[in-house]
């Protein structure tokens, strides 16, 4: 069976004026179905750049990136958008909730973009929100709930379309220690249920909760 995620000699460079700056250098990593992987590194290590490529928000300068054995390294933006919509769920440090929509509508958005039927949307949204303990808050707006509740909403939004991979970018960066523990417990539980999770973090306590730890340093995977 092919890995869910595989990179082969993946590199990413950006032009700074007339100078090419290498941000990622020969990245080789593999994530299997059901893995819980943390990619750790300090600021400037290349974590965000790697996440953008793994999440199909960007493409590598060279090398290969495969999802479920399919090469996506050179796909056009519309094809990348299709993959993001159908296979990937994102959880961000800043939650990225729309302030004018209530919690239920925020969770429902990926299904609306995917043209899911209304009756099916309602069922899927209620199920995932009850699963994460936020159904009672469904009519609240983001500014009316706590940071931990916002992150639960973000996780619900990532899960609602049943993606094959969940990417979490510094998911506890804006949370206190107690709420961090709650969110990490949710990730562990989701992983135990078979979800594939990749977490980007600089926090050791977050990285240590994963089953597999990858260290990124100066754009390279270090031992």
Domain contains 19: no
Q: How many structural domains are present in the chain? A: 1
CATH number where 198 lies: 3.40.50.300
- Report CA Rg, the chain: 17
- Digit-by-digit pLDDT tens for the chain (223 residues) are 678 999 999 999 998 888 988 999 999 999 999 999 999 998 888 998 999 999 998 899 999 999 988 898 878 888 888 888 888 999 988 889 999 999 999 999 999 988 899 999 999 999 999 999 999 999 999 999 999 999 999 999 999 998 889 999 999 888 888 999 999 999 999 999 889 999 999 989 899 999 999 999 999 998 5
Domain contains 182: yes
Domain contains 22: no
- Would you list the DSSP string of the chain? ---SEEEEEEEEEEEETTEEEEEEEEEEEEE-TT-EEEEE--TTSSHHHHHHHHTTSS--SEEEEEETTEE-TT--HHHHHHHHHHHEEEEETT----TTS-HHHHHHHHHHHTT--HHHHHHHHHHHHHHTT-GGGTTS-GGGS-HHHHHHHHHHHHHTT--SEEEEESTTTTS-HHHHHHHHHHHHHHHHTT-EEEEEES-HHHHTTSSEEEEEETTEEE-
Q: According to the model, what pLDDT value does residue 1 have?
A: 61
Domain contains 50: yes
Domain contains 114: yes
Domain contains 18: no
Q: According to the model, what pLDDT value does residue 223 have?
A: 59
Residue-number span of the structural domain to which 109 is assigned: 33-61+76-222
Domain contains 40: yes
Under 8 Å between Cβ of 112 and 121: yes
Beta bridge partners of 221: 216
Domain contains 109: yes
Q: According to the model, what pLDDT value does residue 78 have?
A: 86
Say how far apart CA 183 and CA 143 lie, in whole Å.
19
Q: According to the model, what pLDDT value does residue 201 have?
A: 92
């Amino acid at each position: 069976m092919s890995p869910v995620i595989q990179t082969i000699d993946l590199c990413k460079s950006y032009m700074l004026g007339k100078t090419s700056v290498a941000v990622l250098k020969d990245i080789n990593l593999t994530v299997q179905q059901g893995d819980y992987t943390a990619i750790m590194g300090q600021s400037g290590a290349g974590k965000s750049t790697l996440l953008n490529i793994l999440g199909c928000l960007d493409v590598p300068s060279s090398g290969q990136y495969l999802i479920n054995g399919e090469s996506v390294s050179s796909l056009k933006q519309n094809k990348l958008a299709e993959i993001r919509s159908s296979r990937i769920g994102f959880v961000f440090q800043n939650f990225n909730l729309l302030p004018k929509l209530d919690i239920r509508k925020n969770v429902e958005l990926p299904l609306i973009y995917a043209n899911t039927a209304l009756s099916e949307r309602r069922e899927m949204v209620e199920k995932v929100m009850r699963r994460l303990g936020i159904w009672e808050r469904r009519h609240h707006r983001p500014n009316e709930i706590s940071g931990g509740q916002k992150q639960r909403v973000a996780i619900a939004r990532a899960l609602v379309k049943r993606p094959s991979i969940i990417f979490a970018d510094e998911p506890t960066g804006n949370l206190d220690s107690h709420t961090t523990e709650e969110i990490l417990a949710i990730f562990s539980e989701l992983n135990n249920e078979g979800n594939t999770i990749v977490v980007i973090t600089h926090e050791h306590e977050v990285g240590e909760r994963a089953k597999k730890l990858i260290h990124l340093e100066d754009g390279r995977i270090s031992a």
